[in-house]
Structure 1
């Protein structure tokens, strides 16, 4: 029989630390650029306007694993007191084809999506940035903010704007310091005490402030992260100051939009995957409106491997469109699998 490790959301929270995830997501972009990793065609199906599923799969040659993530979204689940997201990441040995792990996908996705934007920020943002604007206060926001804190050493304050509810932004900001400490420091205290201590100290240095005026918040920020389901622009071109870096996280299907397409007239666009971003990411919108062409867009992996140039000066506006690629899921899943073996975590089952 084949022994497989099963890891739930609690296991993931105790095994993963955000700085380590940021490093392996950086590796994922490198592997895409160098062809050491393969991304296989994505499978997507919409059951309705309020329910869909997608499967992302691929191969990491150097890690000798392949696998897939199936993630489902059922938007009406909240009415049934159920999570909106469900799914599993499955890892297989590329030497034998045997399954090695079944891993909770929503918990892993939070970490890897936060880390994805952080890698871009580290490469593209002004390193002396002091103010971060987080647009959206949903389930992804805490992961995005924690990851940004890890790569912005001069960061002093985080502004939180929720386009749906200013009250929600107020509540989120008030609770955020404790939430970040619980999610990303207390949870790893036993396995990674040194990292936990550094994260706790860094969180204490940051002010978390609810923003009711999106125009002022945009003008004040040097780094902006958008993570909403919006279908119309939330950030207008005239508000964004020279030198700003933006991570557009929310757009992941046709019709979604968080940024004013005119912003791209004076900004340099970067993506995780050119074809995917041009079809379902934020980048779809300026391409459709002919503000930019695909040839104007650079993949972040090419910046990391020095095939392309990142930020060229302190006044440049940069935009990173993150649509999510399978190699990110596989790298994060492999990291948590190796940690599970190291700390004897999870449940081993015989198939």
Structure 2
């Protein structure tokens, strides 16, 4: 079995490689060449942690496995490590043997950012100039860096529950040579693309905060009860997702579905746009919304890619197992 430790991931996996892996697996899902297994996600009754498993099988890429991990909200304060912790396990689909164990923390951040950037590339207007961020935590910086590569943005604006965290976004904007402006929620109407990446259980982004033609990537809702967006926005938008089953059960669409504002048939897979089976954006005035719930196949795709890179560069650790 091969081991790729967390410490080696940063030197192996790039944003571009993560984007390519995620885009391909979304296409495979839409073509029914890949499918996710049911998600297990539980509160363990210790340290307020959520722990679970996401897995699946990609027949096109011959990738089988799971990601184990979750969210420990006290990690940063108590232990000086990030709150999200995970490990990816890959298995040989021909024999069932374990073939690799891969550190999943940075990969999770990269694949989540890649998912929203896939949606921006395929759904945002070509003339998008202003990108707005709702959330300014650890993952938000990954989201912003990946998003800035998808359009010729000229400005970054941002809002966060805790304004003292907004310098995180400004630092990324500075790296890109772009101006940054902290705004109130009403100020988000200036954005052509919006990314929400929070752990909120209450709607933040409302219809009055979004102008016609905006593309919204909702990336924080991945658990029953979580919510970043007013359900009325989904009713006004053309809605896309990574996986429809997750979108309606643990994603942003769960609330709009529960209120009867949209139906399951109103949600399209982003992979269908990648494949050319769905036209995606149809007009400059259309609001498009991507409900990124985070699927196990994303993790397997980037983990498989990083294992190949580790073998190629001679840094994979081989152990008898």
Is the pair's TM-score, using the shorter chain for normalization, greater than 0.5?
yes
Q: Distance in 2 between matches of 1:89 and 1:274?
A: 23
Structure 1 residue 35 corresponds to structure 2 residue 4 = no
Which structure has more helix as a fraction of its residues? 1
Q: 2:220 aligns with which of 231, 250, 253?
A: 250
Q: Which residue of 2 aligns with 1:143?
A: 142
List alignment gaps of at least 5 residues for structure 1: 179-202
Q: Which residue of 2 aligns with 1:186?
A: none
Q: Which residue of 2 aligns with 1:211?
A: 182
Point out 4+ residue stretches in structure 1 off by more than 6 angstroms: none
Q: Distance in 2 between matches of 1:172 and 1:210?
A: 12
CA contact (8 A) 1:125 1:223 kept: yes
- Size of the aligned set, in residue pairs, is 319
Aligned-pair distance for 1:28? 0.7
Return the TM-score normalized by structure 2: 0.94
Q: Distance in 2 between matches of 1:10 and 1:176?
A: 23
**Matching of residues 170-189 of structure 1 within 5 Å:** 171-176=167-172
Aligned-pair distance for 1:17? 1.1
Q: 2:22 aligns with which of 8, 25, 38?
A: 25
Q: 2:49 aligns with which of 48, 51, 54?
A: 51
RMSD: 1.7
Q: SS at the partner of 2:54? A: strand
Q: 1:259 aligns with which of 220, 225, 229?
A: 229
CA contact (8 A) 2:156 2:173 kept: no
1:299-326 Cα shifts (integer Å, max 9, x gaps): 1112222222210011100110000111
Aligned-pair distance for 1:13? 0.8
Change (3 A) 1:255 1:15: same
Aligned-pair distance for 1:205? 3.7
1:8-37 Cα shifts (integer Å, max 9, x gaps): 233111111111211110111111111221
Change (3 A) 1:313 1:61: same
Which deviates further from its counterpart, 328-337 or 30-39?
Answer: 30-39
